[in-house]
């Protein structure tokens, strides 16, 4: 039986993704307001609903830009919307 070759090292990729995510809020070249949350699943759903109620999708293009499930059941997600006009 042939041995399966080891997978690629992922630590460098993890660092690059973390660096990119930490730098994203500092970027000013985007029209969107972004906020990243790290919450338990039920709280994450409630927070997303709160965003959609406060900034309706039709007017603010509100959306869950990205999300991932972390160890321990937490959800990390980024909400995105257009800035308010007021």
Q: And the tokens for 27?
A: 């970027």
Instruction: For 45-68, write each residue's pLDDT tens digit.
Output: 999 999 999 999 999 999 999 999
17: left (phi over 0), alpha (psi -120 to 50) or beta: alpha
**Higher confidence at residue 11 or residue 79?**
79
pLDDT score of 86: 45
In b/e form, how buried is each residue of 41-51, taking b as 16+ CB within 10 angstroms? eeebeeebeeb
pLDDT at 16 over 80: yes
Say if 9 falls within a structural domain.
no
Say if 16 falls within a structural domain.
no
For all residues of the chain together, what is the average pLDDT?
A: 86
Residue 22 three-state SS:
helix
Q: Which structural domain range is residue 59 located in?
A: 32-81
**Higher confidence at residue 13 or residue 42?**
42
pLDDT score of 85: 56
pLDDT score of 8: 73
| Number of domains present in the structure of the chain | 1
Say if 72 falls within a structural domain.
yes
Say if 15 falls within a structural domain.
no
**For the CA atoms of 24, 28, 31, 32, what is the dihedral angle to 10 degrees?**
30
């Amino acid at each position: 039986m042939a041995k399966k070759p080891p997978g690629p090292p992922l630590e460098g990729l993890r660092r690059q993704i973390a660096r990119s995510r930490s730098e994203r809020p500092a970027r000013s070249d985007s029209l969107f307001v972004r906020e990243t949350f790290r919450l338990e699943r039920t709280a994450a759903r409630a927070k997303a609903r709160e965003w959609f109620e406060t900034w309706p999708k039709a007017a603010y293009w509100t959306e869950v830009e990205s999300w991932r499930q972390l160890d321990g059941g937490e959800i990390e997600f980024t909400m995105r919307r257009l800035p308010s006009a007021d």
